[in-house]
Structure 1
Amino acid sequence: MRTLRNHFDLLLFLVSLILLGAGAVGWSFGVHRWESLCWVAATVLGMVVSVAWVVGSLRERKLGVDLIAVLALVGALAVDEPFAGAMITVMLASGRLLEARAASRAQRDLSVLVERAPRTARRVDPDGILEVPVDEVRRGDHLLVGPGEVVPVDGHLTATAVLDESSLTGESRPIDRIAGDTVRSGSVNAGSPIHLVATSEAASSTYAQIVRLVEQARAGSAPFVRTADRIAIFFVPFTLALAGAVWLLTGSAVRVVAVLVVATPCPLLLAAPIAVMSGLSRSARVGVVIKGGDALERLAKGRVLILDKTGTVTKGEPEVIEVVTGDSAWNSEELLRWAAGLDQVSPHVMAASIVKAAHRRGVALQMPESVTEEPGYGIEGRVDGHLIRLGKAAWILTDGTPDWMGGARRRAALNSWLTVFVSVDGLPGGVILLEDPIRPDARRMIESLRSAGITRTVLLTGDRSDIAQSVGTLVGVDFVQADCDPAGKVRQVEAEATNGSTIMVGDGVNDAPALAAAGIGVALAAGGATASSETADVVITGNRIDSLAEAILIAQRSRTIALQSVVVGMGLSLVAMVVAAMGYLPPAAGALAQEGIDVLAIVVALRALTPGHRHTVTLPPTDAALTERLFAEHAAVLPVVEQIRVVADSIDTDSASLARARDLLQRIESELLPHEHAEEHDLYPRMDELMSGPHATAALSRTHAEIDVQAARLHRLLGEISGDVAGAADVTELRGLLYGLYAIMRLHNAQEEEGLFSLLRRNGRIAPTGVAKTAP
Structure 2
Amino acid sequence: MEYTGTGRVKTALLLFALTGLLAGIAFYFAGNSSLATIAWFVGVLPVLLALLLDILHSLWRGEVGLDIVAALSMTAALLFDETLAAAVVAVMYSGGTFLESFAEGRARREMHALLSRVPRAATRHKNGSLEDVPLDAIKPGDLLLIRQGDVVPVDGFVVSQAAFLDTSALTGESLPTRLSQGATAMSGSTNAGAPFDLSATHLAQDSTYAGIVRLVEEAQRSKAPMARLADRWSLGFLALTVTIAFAAWWFTGDPIRAVAVLVVATPCPLILAVPVALVAGLSRAAHFGVLIKGAAPLEAMARIRTLILDKTGTLTDGRPQIVSIDTYGGRDEDDILRLAASLDQASKHPVAQAIVAAAKQRDLVLPVPSQVTEIAGEGVTGRVEGHMVIVGGDTFVAQRVGRISGGPLALMQGSVLVAVALDGVMAGHLVMADPLRKGAGAMLAGLRREGIARILLATGDRAEVAERVTKGLGLDGLHAGLTPDQKVSLVLAERNNGPVMMVGDGVNDAPALAAADVGVAMGARGAAASAEAADVVLLVDRIDRLGPGIEIARRSRRIAVESVVAGIGLSVAGMIAAAFGYLTPVEGALLQEVIDVAVILNALRALRITPRDPMALRAA
TM superposition score normalised by structure 1: 0.75
- Unpaired runs of 5+ residues, structure 2, are none
Aligned to 1:615: 612
1:8 match: secondary structure = helix
Q: Give me the whole-angstrom Cα distance separating, in 2, the residues matched to 1:2 and 1:55.
A: 11
Residue of structure 1 equivalent to 2:304: 302
The reply on whether 1:374 has 2:372 as its aligned counterpart is: no
2:475 is matched with 477
Residue aligning to 1:253: 255
- Which of 423, 435, 438 is residue 437 of structure 1 equivalent to? 435
For 1:287, give the aligned amino acid: G
Shift of 1:507: 1.6
Q: Which position in structure 1 is the counterpart of 2:28?
A: 27
Q: Which residue of 2 aligns with 1:747?
A: none
Shift of 1:315: 1.4
Q: Structure 1 stretch 588-597 or stretch 185-194: which is displaced more? A: 185-194
Kindly provide the amino acid, as one letter, of the partner of residue 362 in structure 2. Answer: R
How far did residue 70 of structure 1 move? 2.3
Question: SS of 2:194's equivalent?
Answer: coil
SS in 2 for 1:474: coil
Equivalent residue for 1:137?
138
Structure 1 residues 762, 349: CA separation in 2 closer, same or farther (over 3 Å shift)? Answer: farther
How do 1:284-323 residues align onto structure 2 when only pairs under 5 Å count?
284-323=286-325
List gaps (5 residues or longer) in structure 1: 618-758, 766-776
Kindly report which structure 2 residues correspond to 1:394-473, keeping only aligned pairs within 5 A, or say none. 394-398=395-399, 401-404=402-405, 406-408=407-409, 411-412=410-411, 414-473=412-471
Q: Distance in 2 between matches of 1:310 and 1:110?
A: 23
* 1:510 aligned partner, one-letter code: N
* Contact kept in structure 1, 2:435 and 2:469, CA below 8 Å: no
Matches of 1:370 and 1:160, distance apart in 2: 23
Distance 1:96 1:173 in 2: 49
SS at structure 2 position matched to 1:176: strand
Corresponding residue for residue 575 of structure 1: 573
> Which residue does 1:521 correspond to in 2?
519
CA distance 1:305–1:405, change in 2 (3 Å): farther
* CA distance 1:175–1:593, shift in 2 (3 Å): same
Contact 1:326 1:404 in 2 (8 A): no
SS of 1:210's partner is: helix
Letter in 2 for 1:218: Q
Work out the CA distance in 1 between the residues paired with 2:132 and 2:603.
Answer: 60
Could you tell me which amino acid in structure 2 is paired with residue 439 of structure 1? R
Sort the Cα spacing of 1:174 and 1:45 in 2 relative to 1 into closer, same or farther, 3 A.
Answer: closer
State the shift of 1:529 in Å: 6.2
- Residue 609 of structure 1 aligns to which amino acid in structure 2? L
Q: As a proportion of its length, which structure holds more helix?
A: 1
Residue among 177, 180, 191 paired with 1:178: 180
Aligned equivalents of 1:258 and 1:326: distance in 2?
Answer: 90
Shift of 1:306: 0.8
Match for residue 384 of structure 2? Answer: 383
Deviation at 1:292, TM superposition (A): 0.5
Q: Contact 1:397 / 1:426 at 8 angstroms: preserved in 2?
A: no
| Aligned residue identity for 2:220 | R
Q: Flag the structure with larger Rg.
A: 1
Aligned equivalents of 2:555 and 2:358: distance in 1? 43
User: How many matched pairs?
Assistant: 618
SS state at 2:45 partner: helix
Residue identity matched to 1:318? P
- TM-fit CA distance, 1:16: 2.0
Q: Label 1:2 to 1:250 Cα distance change in 2 as closer, same or farther (>3 A).
A: closer
Structure 1 residue 225: Cα displacement: 3.0
**C-alpha distance 104-405 of structure 1, shift in aligned 2 (>3 A):** farther
CA contact (8 A) 2:85 2:586 kept: yes
- Per the alignment, residue 547 of structure 1 pairs with 545
Looking at structure 1, the residues matched to 150 and 105 of structure 2 have their Cα atoms a distance apart, in angstroms, of 38
Shift of 1:138: 3.3
* CA shift for structure 1 position 281: 1.3
Q: Tell me if structure 1 keeps the 8 A contact 2:413–2:468.
A: no
Give the match for residue 89 of structure 1. 90
**For the Cα contact (< 8 Å) 1:162–1:189, is it kept in 2?**
yes
Cα distance in 2 between the residues matched to 1:468 and 1:30: 79
Q: Say if 1:102 and 1:293, in contact at 8 Å, map to a contact too.
A: yes
- Checking the alignment, whether the CA contact within 8 Å between 1:20 and 1:38 is kept in structure 2 is yes
Partner in structure 2 of residue 558 of structure 1: 556
1:266 to 1:133, Cα distance in 2 relative to 1, 3 A: same
**Separation in structure 2 between the aligned mates of residue 59 and residue 269 of structure 1, nearest angstrom:** 22
Q: CA deviation at 1:127?
A: 5.8
Measure how far apart 1:454 and its partner are.
Answer: 0.5
Aligned equivalents of 1:214, 1:357: Cα separation in 2: 37
Task: Assess if the C-alpha contact under 8 Å between 1:170 and 1:461 holds in 2.
Answer: yes
1:396–1:426 Cα contact (<8 Å) kept: no
- The structure-2 alpha-carbon separation of the partners of 1:338 and 1:468, relative to structure 1 and needing over 3 Å to count, comes to same
Instruction: Specify which structure has the bigger relative contact order, considering alpha-carbon pairs within 8 angstroms and separated by 6 or more residues.
Output: 2
Render the CA deviation track for 1:690-736: whole Å, top value 9, x for unaligned.
xxxxxxxxxxxxxxxxxxxxxxxxxxxxxxxxxxxxxxxxxxxxxxx
Per-residue CA deviation, residues 157-201 of structure 1 (Å, 9 max, x unaligned), is: 344432211121122211123344332211223333434443322
Q: % of aligned pairs identical? A: 44
| Cα separation, 2, equivalents of 1:397 and 1:477 | 40
Partners of 2:371 and 2:383 within 8 A in 1: yes
Alpha-carbon separation, structure 2, partners of 1:31 and 1:415: 85
SS at match of 2:101: helix
Equivalence for 1:764: 619
